[in-house]
Structure 1
Amino acid sequence: MAMMMMMNPINLQFSNLNKITNPYPNSRIQQARSLNSSLITNSSHHNSSFQSLVHEFNPNIPIQQALTPPSSWYTSPDFLSLEFHHVFFKGWQAVGCMEQVQEANSFFTGRLGNIEYVVCRDENGVLRAFHNVCRHHASLLAFGSGKGTCFTCPYHGWTYGLNGSLLKATRITGIKNFNVKDFGLVPLRVAIWGPFILLNFETKVSSQKGYDDDDVGTEWLGSASKILSTNGVDTSLSYLCRREYTIECNWKVFCDNYLDGGYHVPFAHKDLASGLKLDSYSTIIYENVSIQGCDGGEVKSQEDFDRLGSKSLYAFIYPNFMVNRYGPWMDTNLVIPLGPRKCKVIFDYFLDASLKDDEAFVAKSLEDSEKVQMEDIMLCESVQRGLESPAYDCGRYAPMVEKAMHHFHCLLHQNLIK
C-alpha cells in the first residue's frame, strides 16, 4: 500500500520534467513507469508468498493430528526476513549477561539481523544501549567488547560519550543547520532480569531509563517469571566462561532439538542419558515459556542441591533463549540466526561460588558439556540437510514428549500472522 502511494508523486515528477525540459525520451518515461509498476506487483506477490508460507502450518490442529511446519520455514531466506521483523524485533530479547558490563566504562557489541548494537555501562554506572552506528556516514563504532570512556568512529573520528551524546565532530567547518543534540547515538531500550541483559528493538527511545525487574520479567516471561526466579535462575551464581558454536542449520532446528522432551537423549547422548531418569521427564507450558524437568542421577553433594535437589530444569524462553539449571550449575543458550541455514549458539556457564575453585570438577563438567554440544551439532546439521531434501516436507509430533516444540511453532505462527 505504501509503495502504491509513492507511485503518483513519482509519475508527477516525470510528467513535470517532460513539460519543462523533456530530458528523457517518451520511451524512457514509459520504461520508468513500467519498472515502478513491476516493483509494486512484485512486492504484492512477495507479501502474498510470505503469507502462504506462514499458513502452511495450522496451529489449531491438536498435536495428536498436527503436521510440523513445512521445510520451507527452515530453508527460505524470505521466511527468515519475515521472522526478524515479526519475531526478533518485537518485545524483549536476551543479548548477554551482567558479567559483560559489570564495571563502569565497559561495553560489548552484537548483531541481530541487520541491527548492530552496543551495550555499555557509563562512568556513573548506568546501563545503556544504542544502535552501534556513527551518525555521520554509518560506520560501526565499537567492535567486540572492552572498556573505554568514549566511542570514536574509526572512519572520520566522530566521538560519542557512553551516554550517547556527540562529543566531537571533526572537520565540519562551514556546515549549516547542524545541531549537536540531533546527532547523538540512537538509543535502544535495555533492561535486566536476573543475571541477563535484555534489549527491545521495537520502541523508539527518547531517553534512557531503568525498567523495574518485575515489570520486565512479567513482560518477557509472563507467569513463568516467578517460577524461574525461585527455581534456578540465581543471580548469586558466579560467572564461569563463554563458548560459541557456529552451526550449519536454521536457528529453529537447534530450538526444535532442545524442545523434543528428551526424545533424542537416549539415542544421541548415551553418557548423558545414563545420569538421567528419563521416565521422570515432564513438560509444563506457560504463555511464552516452556519448562522441561527431569530427575538426575548421582550428585556431587547434597548441599550443592539444596535449591533443586537432583532435578534438572530446562527452560525455553521464546523465541531463542534457553536456561538450564542442574544443581550448582546453570548454563544459558542464546541462538542467533546468521542465515537460513546457519546460526550461532552462545553458551554462558555459571556455577555456585563454593565450587568455582574446584578445577577438576569444573574441567570435567565443561568437558561433558562440550561432548553433548558436539553430538547436538551433528544432529542439527544432519536435520538441516534432510530439510533441504526433496524427499521431505512436513513431519509429525510425538504427542507425549514434543508438546514444547509444538508450542514453539504455534507461538511463531502467532507472531508471523500479525
Structure 2
Amino acid sequence: MGAWVAQTLKHRRVRSPLCLPQRWIAQAWRMSELWSTMSGTIWGGENLTQIVESPLGGLSCRNRSSVGGDDDLTGLKTTPSSPRVERTLREFRRHAPVEEASTPPSAWYTDAEFADFEIDRVFGRCWQAVGHIKQMEEPGSFFTGRVGKTRYVVCKDGEGQIRAFHNVCRHHAAAVASGSGCTHSFVCPYHGWTYGLDGRLQKASRLAGIRNFSARENGLVPIRTATWGPFVLISLAESKASEASSDVEEGWLGSAGPTLSSAGIDSTMQHVATREYVIKCNWKVYCDNYLDGGYHVPHAHSSLAACLDLPSYSTSLLERVSIQSCGAAKESGLVRVGNVATYAFVYPNFMINRYGPWMDTNLVIPISMSECRVIFDWFLEPSLVHDKEFIDSSIADSEVVQKEDIILCEDVQNGLSSPAYDVGRYAPRVEQAMHHFHCLIYDDLSAGMIS
C-alpha cells in the first residue's frame, strides 16, 4: 500500500498528499482501510506521512517513524475512538466476576492507537496527585510536570496560595518554567514574556502596533488545584464555580479518605528523599504489578517476603481506591516495616505506602506506549528525620525491591508482544485490586467513545 501511495505522489508530481484531488485522497483512504483490515497495518513503510481523519471530519497529517511504533503520548491530540479501539476495549468482559474474567488483551498495552485514545480519557477528567506540600513551603516555590499530554506548573504565590497553570506561553506556546525551584515570576525563554505567580501577564516587549490585544486576557491559563493531607492535586476537568474541600476528597478518594487518614497518611510526615525511574513498560504494567495482592512477593522479593506475614494479606475495594494491607512477620523485628503495611492505590496512577515510621508514594507517568516514569517520594515521622544512617539504609532496602520490580515489568512488556500471549486469568483471591483497576479503565474509555 505504501508503494502505491508513493507511486501516486510521484506520478502527480506533488509534495504532499494534501495536494491531491479529493477523489484521490478518498480513494487512498478507502484502500488503506481495506489494507489495514486484511493485514493489520496501515500504509506500511517507514517515515511515511499518514493521512488520518480528524475529529472535525476533514483530513490532517502527522508523521510517524513507523506504523504501530511508540508515539510520545505527551504530544498527542485528543483522539476519537476507532472501530479497532472499540473492538480492543470490548474484548475485556467488564461485567464478568473476577473468578470468570480474563485480563485485558495485550493490545491494551502494546497498541499505539489504543494508547492515543486512552491518555486523554483516563488522565484528563479527574483529580490527580502531582506533588506534595513540602515542595510549596516558601512563596515563589514551584515545580513542573505533566498529566497525560498536558504540561503544568504549580506554584505558591506571594499571598501563600497554591496555584497551577498550563505551562505554555500565550505568545508562541513555549514552556515558561522547567524543573523546580523558587522564583518571583515566570519568564518565557523564547521571547521574554513574563508572568506573575498569579498567572497575570506582566511584560511583553516589542508589541508596538498590535491591535485588539489585552494583557488581562493573555495570562497563563489556570488549572484547578487543591490539597489533601500532604498531597498537591490538580484537575484538568472543566472548572466548577465553587468546590469545597470535602468535594475534592470525594472526587479523588471517594469514601476512602477517613480510612487513609486513620492509617497515618497525613501532613505530619516529613519529606526526606525523591528518586525517579524510567521504566520500559506501559504504565499499566507497573500498576498491575503493584495490584496483584502480594502474589509475586515470595517469588520476586525474598528480602521483603521475609519481613511480611503474607497469609494475612487482604484487599479492600472502594470507588476509585483499593487498599491492600499485610501484617509484619513476628520474627522480623524491623523498625522500618513496623507492625502492619498499608498499600493504597488511588486510580489511575498514584500509590501510597504506609509502614512503620515511613510513608512513600509512587506516581506513575506515561511517557509512551511502552515506557513510563515513576517518581518515588519518601516521608518519615519527624522524630527520625535526623537519623541519616536509618534513612539511607531504609531507602537502600526499598530500592532493592524497586529494581526487582523493574526487571519484572520490563520482562512482562516484552512478553505482551509475543504471538503466544493475548489474555491471561486472575488469581481470584489475591488479584481483586488488579481486576478493579482494569474495570475502572474500561469505564473511563467506554464513556468517552465517539463511534
Identify whether the pair has TM-score above 0.5, normalized to the shorter chain. Answer: yes
Indicate the residue corresponding to 2:156 in structure 1.
121
Report the Cα offset of residue 205 of structure 1: 7.5
Distance 1:98 1:59, change over 3 A: same
Distance 1:327 1:42, change over 3 A: same
Report the Cα offset of residue 112 of structure 1: 2.6
Q: What is the aligned counterpart of 2:326 among 284, 287, 294?
A: 294
Distance 1:176 1:366, change over 3 A: same
Indicate the residue corresponding to 2:363 in structure 1.
334
Q: RMSD of the TM alignment (CA)?
A: 2.1
Equivalence map 1:164-313=2 (5 Å): 164-204=199-239, 212-297=244-329, 298-300=332-334, 310-313=339-342
Report the Cα offset of residue 300 of structure 1: 4.9
Q: What is the aligned counterpart of 1:99 among 127, 134, 138?
A: 134
Report the Cα offset of residue 355 of structure 1: 1.1
1:261 corresponds to which letter in structure 2? Answer: G
1:35 equivalenced with 2:70 (yes/no): no
Q: Distance in 2 between matches of 1:40 and 1:110?
A: 29
Q: What is the aligned counterpart of 1:111 among 132, 135, 146?
A: 146
Q: What is the aligned counterpart of 2:105 among 70, 93, 114?
A: 70
Report the Cα offset of residue 214 of structure 1: 2.5
Q: Deviations over 1:205-237 (max 9, x none)?
A: 79xx8x543221111110111111121212111
Q: Is the 8 A contact 1:189 1:205 kept in 2?
A: no
Q: What is the aligned counterpart of 2:96 among 42, 55, 61?
A: 61
Q: Which runs of 4+ in 1 moved over 4 A?
A: 36-46
Q: What is the aligned counterpart of 2:349 among 293, 301, 320?
A: 320
Q: Distance in 1 between matches of 2:20 and 2:308?
A: 70
Q: Distance in 2 between matches of 1:280 and 1:352?
A: 25
Q: Is the 8 A contact 1:188 1:205 kept in 2?
A: no
Q: Deviations over 1:62-121 (max 9, x none)?
A: 111111000000011211122211110011011111111211011000123321100000
Report the Cα offset of residue 35 of structure 1: 3.3
Q: Deviations over 1:41-71 (max 9, x none)?
A: 6879962222111111011111111110000
Indicate the residue corresponding to 1:149 in structure 2.
184
Report the Cα offset of residue 204 of structure 1: 4.6
Q: Is the 8 A contact 1:284 1:290 kept in 2?
A: yes
1:388 equivalenced with 2:417 (yes/no): yes
SS in 2 for 1:232: coil
Q: Is the 8 A contact 2:81 2:117 kept in 1?
A: no
Q: Distance in 1 between matches of 2:86 and 2:25?
A: 24
Indicate the residue corresponding to 1:134 in structure 2.
169
Indicate the residue corresponding to 1:23 in structure 2.
none
Q: Is the 8 A contact 1:260 1:404 kept in 2?
A: yes
SS in 2 for 1:406: helix
Q: Distance in 1 between matches of 2:81 and 2:355?
A: 46
Task: Give the alignment's TM-score, normalised by structure 2.
Answer: 0.81
Report the Cα offset of residue 30 of structure 1: 7.7
Q: What is the aligned counterpart of 1:48 among 78, 83, 87?
A: 83
> Which structure 2 segments of 5+ residues have no match?
1-17, 30-50, 58-79
Q: Distance in 2 between matches of 1:265 and 1:318?
A: 22
Indicate the residue corresponding to 1:346 in structure 2.
375
Indicate the residue corresponding to 1:379 in structure 2.
408
Q: Distance in 1 between matches of 2:258 and 2:112?
A: 37
Report the Cα offset of residue 34 of structure 1: 5.1
Q: Distance in 1 between matches of 2:273 and 2:199?
A: 29
Distance 1:134 1:66, change over 3 A: same
> Which structure 1 segments of 5+ residues have no match?
1-27
Q: What is the aligned counterpart of 1:404 among 433, 444, 447?
A: 433
Q: Distance in 2 between matches of 1:170 and 1:42?
A: 36
Of 104-113 and 344-353, the range deviating more from structure 2? 104-113
Q: What is the percent sequence identity of the aligned residues?
A: 52
Q: Is the 8 A contact 1:387 1:393 kept in 2?
A: yes
Q: Distance in 1 between matches of 2:293 and 2:365?
A: 22
